Structure 1
């Protein structure tokens, strides 16, 4: 090998030998379904708490998505959907039965999923017969639970994603699968390449020595960053400190939250209330666009088919005022000193696209709620459908905290004086 500086070396590439293939071929132990059977039999459940929804996976039984909310002086309201129920048959699935009856079936390729850049083998368990989905002619919701080997896991839910309308993928980390060689996590091997300098060339290439010196410098203790070296704006500070936090081989990410671009608070409030600045958010298949005093859209973007958009509701001040005479447009919070402050306002948006199920226009109640956050410009958006094609859009942000007290008797907001 010759470097850019014409230094010459003779390098020996290692022989890469791995016993994994032999181990997989000789494996005669339990099938993946049998390894997971203790989890199904002990009736255990795993939970994942997100910004609005809580997900409950009771292994071998069901997957439930729910939210509990307690209004002042009222009982607890539970909004819930079953994303799938276990079929009557045994958790030991058909592929396992085939593998038992015909060892040649074990040579079949195991499905993999890209988990943080690593193609990872998983064992799928199908769950169907969930809560009917109005967006799919009341077909039941269904899910694929993907069990992945992780030696230090305790059956945690890594992620829940809506891959198509009312069809979900749930990833579970479990140590039980690690006893099967085909499901073990494979780290990319690092193999040393040995090089010997040829006559007339230094022991180490010049560029390599420079690189090693730089690495030694990086190992020195970090000095305290001076105040003038810190990012100059709030937004820059946010982007510099709110990075995904690595935990083991996984990352903690904020789900369902977007961040507003770099605008001053006053300018942002004016543009939001004029409808020229719209909030975007949502997790999974559907995303949502909310433009205050204009409309609520639900949309999905696909590289092949383009953008699919549904008008959930459009704004009419007269219709909203009529609606507010029969419904609470303002929700109050009682402070410790006995005074009241506005906690949330509700706005009615009607005249959406006609719904196939009801043959009536879609409509949505937008609930604008104050939510404190480390970032002054964070926005969380979620959508509920308590009745067919009648929606609730929740919008929570610190920006809303600044304007709630301007709400009039109909819940209409204005720029603070």
Structure 2
């Protein structure tokens, strides 16, 4: 009998018959041990107690999208707002409160309920599908938001779902309007990870042990043939050309949330992807020629940036296909004209007192006409050096300081290698 930490019983089996009429008795696992025992024996702080430091700090998290900014001040409120500067530097703010904390202690009631239920284990931990995995979360309800005209002026309300993520810093993963003026906000936090019931875990995969019945070979004939084929395939592969490869871009659950300081806010959810397996020299050449484009962004809108060509904003849907907006297109003459009035290069001082280029800014105009302004969209692309453990990572975020006038931030270690080639107009070239 196998000893693997998984329970098997002799009477829990099925008889399997192959296409060649070979018969095998296969033992099935009863339960997966380990996590269940840890959860059962857990006597530590409740999830509410684990989250309490976050609420006591009065800290806020931000998610900046193309038009709206979402502000979650933990234990206080959720706000959706858009700032727009007019002439004379007057700032107009359009805002809605998606929920305010009504209880004095937002963590007391759910925790009390959990303590009562933990005695008999009756309380099921709620779960949400996060990137294909059913993930446990701790809910905090907020009500009494801005009245909703579509619901007879009933106040807006939200459920904040806190989920464990060991590398997170309380980022907003998503904001969704699940029904009219009712919202779900998912927050990634490491604080819950000390509670075994809230840790992310994949579905258990246990072995099934099979033994041949009289008259059948030890191993099925087709299985032996398959294993021989696999052995033959264990040889060095030729290098596949980049255009033949499937996309090497991968947005990982553990890497899509990296903080980037933006103005007076901190942009906490931006798209970080691993862009290529090309060599640095190849990648730089292809990027500067516009044949290799950067992709990024999380949430509804994604962004595509092709250097010296265009910036697109797009959404892909299985039913309706791809919706794409041209945010800006490249014109060297227009950029040079723009650079005469705006700083195309930003410098910083080295330790030896010499200057180095820290960031370059490029102007892309003549985008799709904006419904709000009746003018073409335009974007300033800010290319910035950002060191990373992954040399081919890129982080992309977009801001909209004015209606249909955007800033696209592009940060990557790749850019670090070419910034010092920038000429007076901020135009880059392949390093010599």
Q: TM-score, normalised by structure 1?
A: 0.58
> Deviations for 1:361-401, whole angstroms, at most 9, x for unmatched residues?
11110001111222222211110111111110011112211
> Deviations for 1:242-299, whole angstroms, at most 9, x for unmatched residues?
9999999999999611222232323322222222221111111111011111111100
Conserved? CA contact 1:50–1:255, under 8 Å: no
CA drift of 1:309 comes to 0.8
Conserved? CA contact 2:272–2:297, under 8 Å: yes
Change (3 A) 1:187 1:246: farther
SS of the aligned residue for 2:135 comes to strand
Moved more, 196-205 or 238-247: 238-247
> Deviations for 1:71-126, whole angstroms, at most 9, x for unmatched residues?
99999999999886558999799999999999999999997422465535657667
Question: How far, CA to CA, are the matches of 1:359 and 1:252 in structure 2?
Answer: 29
Conserved? CA contact 1:406–1:413, under 8 Å: yes
Kindly report which structure 2 residues correspond to 1:152-171, keeping only aligned pairs within 5 A, or say none.
Answer: 169-171=184-186
1:317 pairs with one of 332, 338, 359: 332
Conserved? CA contact 2:64–2:269, under 8 Å: no
Moved more, 191-200 or 385-394: 191-200
> Deviations for 1:318-340, whole angstroms, at most 9, x for unmatched residues?
22111111111100010111000
Change (3 A) 1:20 1:363: closer
Gaps of 5+ in 1: none
Question: How far, CA to CA, are the matches of 1:338 and 1:70 in structure 2?
Answer: 37
1:56 alignment counterpart: 71
Conserved? CA contact 1:161–1:283, under 8 Å: no
Conserved? CA contact 2:59–2:74, under 8 Å: yes
Change (3 A) 1:60 1:206: same
Change (3 A) 1:275 1:71: farther
Moved more, 16-25 or 119-128: 16-25
Change (3 A) 1:50 1:105: farther
Gaps of 5+ in 2: 1-15
CA drift of 1:342 comes to 0.5
Change (3 A) 1:278 1:132: farther
Conserved? CA contact 2:251–2:274, under 8 Å: no
Q: TM-score, normalised by structure 2?
A: 0.56
Question: How far, CA to CA, are the matches of 2:384 and 2:167 in structure 1?
Answer: 39
> Deviations for 1:153-191, whole angstroms, at most 9, x for unmatched residues?
999977778999999743357999999999999997999
Moved more, 27-36 or 115-124: 27-36
Change (3 A) 1:66 1:8: same
Change (3 A) 1:190 1:80: same
Moved more, 393-402 or 88-97: 88-97
1:144 alignment counterpart: 159
> Deviations for 1:40-82, whole angstroms, at most 9, x for unmatched residues?
7996767999999999643342247999999999999999998
CA drift of 1:359 comes to 2.0
Moved more, 77-86 or 242-251: 242-251
Conserved? CA contact 1:45–1:59, under 8 Å: yes
Change (3 A) 1:101 1:76: same
Conserved? CA contact 1:329–1:409, under 8 Å: yes
Change (3 A) 1:350 1:192: closer
Conserved? CA contact 2:61–2:71, under 8 Å: yes
Moved more, 217-226 or 97-106: 217-226
Conserved? CA contact 1:146–1:169, under 8 Å: yes
Aligned length: 417
Question: How far, CA to CA, are the matches of 2:398 and 2:381 in structure 1?
Answer: 9
Superposition RMSD in Å: 9.7
Change (3 A) 1:206 1:166: same
